[in-house]
């Protein structure tokens, strides 16, 4: 997350940094997400319903992707997505191809990276291609002032088929920062509209965030693999897998509040 509050190639003055650090959501009018990925667009969409008085913009230089979301020819299906989009689009959510102009207007900027593999050169077909996002970062730094604050927010668990529900009821939100002393009050205020403070982990180091993310993903994959195996047994013996899931979830020995069969998981970042 980047705060846009001062301009100039020399960077902000001490007083400008103090102003940024004292900023609250009351001072914010426009929130921008660069990158019209499924996760980025759906995250902004969910935020619009909790902050109806704020304007949210999703910007991307890919005209086809923007048109798909703008005219509801969506590249992804999620229960509840189309209805929520119909309610919020053009109310306090819009889509744009003009990234540079939107950066100038926004006070908070999120970046939702499209994690594509390199198509040429060293690492082709195997390494992530960050060329586009390096360009986006340069555009942001030219048009906005970077606050010495939290660098990213991370949802820990999203399941295909329940992403909207998961975004509304996240197991946790991790706010990653380079220092325990960095001011993360603004991003906490943004999320606490619908996420309890007990589920918001603030000023977590990148190393701790990455290891915990990997651990949660591994444990959940093991859970899904296990319940998917028992789904096959349920099919063979004519048992209701949802009843099995309910019993397992309520057994204290499993240490889980919910276990469901699923096609996949994701832990994206903003």
Q: Give pLDDT, residue 193.
A: 94
In 3D, which of 242, 258, 240, 260 has the Cα closest to residue 250?
258
Give the CA-trace dihedral at 132, 133, 139, 142, to 10 degrees: -140
Average pLDDT, whole number, for the chain? Answer: 78
Q: Is the pLDDT of residue 21 over 70?
A: no
12 band by pLDDT with thresholds 50, 70 and 90: very low
User: What pTM did the predictor assign?
Assistant: 0.75
Looking at residue 54, what DSSP letter applies? S
CA atoms within 13 A on the CB side of 12: 19
User: Residues 172, 176, 180, 181: what is their CA dihedral angle, to the nearest 10 degrees?
Assistant: -110
187-214 average pLDDT score: 87
Q: According to the model, what pLDDT value does residue 6 have?
A: 43
Q: Which overall architecture, per CATH, does domain 2-147 show?
A: 3-Layer(aba) Sandwich (3.40)
Tell me the C-alpha distance between 6 and 170, whole Å. 33
What is the DSSP secondary structure assignment for residue 192, as one 8-state letter?
Answer: T
Quick one: pLDDT at residue 206? 81
pLDDT at 46: 95
DSSP state letter for 266: E
**Domains in the chain: boundaries:** 2-147, 211-266
Strands 55-59 and 30-34: parallel
Backbone phi, psi, residue 155, to 5°: -80, 135
> Is 70 exceeded by the pLDDT of residue 92?
yes
Radius of gyration, alpha carbons of the chain: 20
Q: For the segment 224-270, what is each residue's pLDDT rounded down to a tens digit? A: 777 778 888 888 888 888 887 777 777 666 655 555 555 554 556 66
CB atoms within 10 A of CB 211: 11
Residues 223-236 pLDDT 10s: 777 777 888 888 88
CB 159 within 8 A of CB 262: yes
* Contact between residue 47 and residue 56 where contact means Cβ atoms under 8 Å apart: yes
């Amino acid at each position: 997350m980047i705060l846009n509050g001062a301009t100039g190639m020399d960077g902000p003055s001490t007083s400008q940094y103090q102003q940024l650090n004292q900023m609250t959501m009351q001072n914010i009018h426009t929130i921008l997400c660069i990158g019209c990925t499924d996760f980025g667009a759906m995250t902004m969409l969910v935020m619009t319903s909790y902050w109806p008085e704020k304007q949210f913009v999703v910007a991307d230089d890919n005209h086809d992707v923007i048109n798909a979301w703008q005219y509801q020819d969506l590249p992804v299906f999620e229960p509840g997505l189309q209805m929520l989009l119909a309610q919020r689009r053009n109310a306090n959510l819009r889509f744009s191809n003009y990234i540079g102009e939107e950066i100038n207007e926004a006070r908070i900027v999120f970046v939702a990276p499209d994690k594509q593999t390199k198509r040429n050169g060293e690492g082709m077909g195997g390494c992530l291609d960050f060329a586009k996002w390096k360009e986006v970062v340069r555009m942001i730094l030219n048009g906005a002032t970077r606050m010495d604050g939290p660098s990213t927010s991370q949802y820990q668990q999203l399941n295909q088929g329940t992403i909207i529900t998961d975004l509304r009821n996240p197991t946790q939100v991790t706010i990653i920062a380079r220092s325990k002393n960095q001011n993360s009050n603004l991003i906490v205020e943004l999320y606490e509209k619908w996420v309890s403070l007990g589920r918001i982990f603030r000023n977590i180091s990148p190393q701790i965030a990455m290891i915990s993310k990997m651990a949660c993903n591994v444990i959940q994959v093991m859970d899904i693999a296990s319940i998917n195996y028992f789904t096959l047994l349920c099919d063979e013996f004519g048992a209701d897998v949802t009843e099995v899931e309910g019993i397992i979830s309520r057994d204290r020995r499993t240490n889980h509040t919910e276990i469901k069969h699923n096609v996949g998981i994701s832990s994206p970042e903003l």
